[in-house]
Amino acid sequence: MILALETATMACSAALCAADGSLVAERVSLAGPAHSKLLLPFVHEVLAEQGAGWDDVDTVAVGLGPGAFTGLRIGIATARALAQADGSAGLAGVPTLTALALALAGAPEALSGRRLVPLIDGRRREVFAAVFERADEGGVRLIEDVAVVPADGLAAWLASRGDVVTGGDGAVLYDELLPACGPRAAGVVAPTAAMVGRAVACGVPGVVRGPDAVLPIYGRAPDATPRAARNGAAAAGSPAGGAA
């Protein structure tokens, strides 16, 4: 089975999925952020619900973002620790936007052949977005990689991509800004661990495996910069290349 985690947004979730990606058990909190308090209890609950133990877990999967810095670090560090502690479980990661796109592909609003545009709240009145289309055998294909789109320009950005269907917490947050050509899928309100588990099982584009490859996708540089880095940048910019 696949034990999946998703913490890229305010939502926090853990899920247990079968090898084919079908959902076995899930815990989701949309209220967050409380990832550090909820994630491990959710893991224990989904395992206990099915009477499953660590011997039943073949893969620990996690959403890689983009999303909130703190949430991503918590989710990925937890996934790494669980896989390492188990010893026999593999570690896998999938871009959160891709997992959302796969969920959008099955939404009723996407049945008209619209392209799939998952939106994740990037704070600062911005969203992380990417463009996908359906692929063979129920998968998805990446058309445009991650972009940071200002909320004020979201309608124009979507309109320039033709008929699309949107989803995710960014679509919920800026629902009133979505153009007629980019309606929101009502059933896809946030990325969840169940979406991550299914995406890994389906082998969607961007799935990576192993601790060296399971790394966060931040989407942009952090707001906060370590003091040492700031001091180094200041020194490099001084006339003497060192002390002023």
Q: Taking Cα atoms as reference points, which of 93, 84, 98 lies closest to residue 140?
A: 98
Per-residue pLDDT reduced to its tens digit, 157-191 = 999 999 999 999 999 999 999 999 999 999 999 99
Please state whether 176 falls in left (phi above 0), alpha (psi between -120 and 50) or beta.
alpha
Domain 97-177 has CATH 3.40.50.1970: no
Taking the CA atoms of 207, 211, 212 and 218 in sequence, report the sign of the dihedral they define.
positive
Q: Which amino acid is at 38?
A: L
What pLDDT does 187 receive? 93
Residue ranges of E strands in 135-207: 140-150, 164-167
- Least confident range from 23-27, 146-150, 210-214, 221-225: namely 221-225
Residue ranges of E strands in the chain: 2-6, 12-17, 23-29, 59-63, 90-94, 115-121, 126-134, 140-150, 164-167, 208-209
Is pLDDT at 243 greater than 50 in this prediction? no
Is pLDDT at 239 greater than 70 in this prediction? no
> Where are the chain's structural domains?
2-96+191-209, 97-177
Confidence of residue 222 (pLDDT cuts 50, 70, 90): low
What pLDDT does 112 receive? 78
Cβ neighbourhood burial of 27 (10 Å; 0-12, 13-18, 19+): buried
Per-residue pLDDT reduced to its tens digit, 106-122 = 999 988 789 999 999 99
Angle of helix 96-105 versus helix 193-202 axis, rounded to 10: 90
What pLDDT does 5 receive? 98
Is pLDDT at 241 greater than 50 in this prediction? no
Q: Taking Cα atoms as reference points, which of 125, 105, 224, 113 lies closest to residue 167?
A: 105
What pLDDT does 227 receive? 53
What average pLDDT does the segment 4-15 reach? Answer: 97
Q: Could you tell me if 73 and 48 are in contact, meaning their C-beta atoms sit under 8 angstroms apart?
A: no
What pLDDT does 137 receive? 77
What pLDDT does 229 receive? 43
Per-residue pLDDT reduced to its tens digit, 19-51 = 999 999 999 999 877 889 999 999 999 999 999
Is pLDDT at 236 greater than 50 in this prediction? no
What pLDDT does 220 receive? 72
Is pLDDT at 72 greater than 70 in this prediction? yes
Q: Could you tell me if 198 and 102 are in contact, meaning their C-beta atoms sit under 8 angstroms apart?
A: yes
Tell me which CATH code domain 2-96+191-209 carries.
Answer: 3.30.420.40
Angle of helix 35-49 versus helix 69-86 axis, rounded to 10: 40
Asked if domains 2-96+191-209 and 97-177 share a fold, the reply is yes
The verdict on whether omega for the bond into residue 66 sits within 30 degrees of 0, i.e. cis, is yes
CB atoms within 10 A of CB 143: 14
The pLDDT mean for the chain works out to: 89
- CA 174 to chain centroid: 18
What pLDDT does 221 receive? 63
What pLDDT does 34 receive? 82
CB atoms within 10 A of CB 29: 17
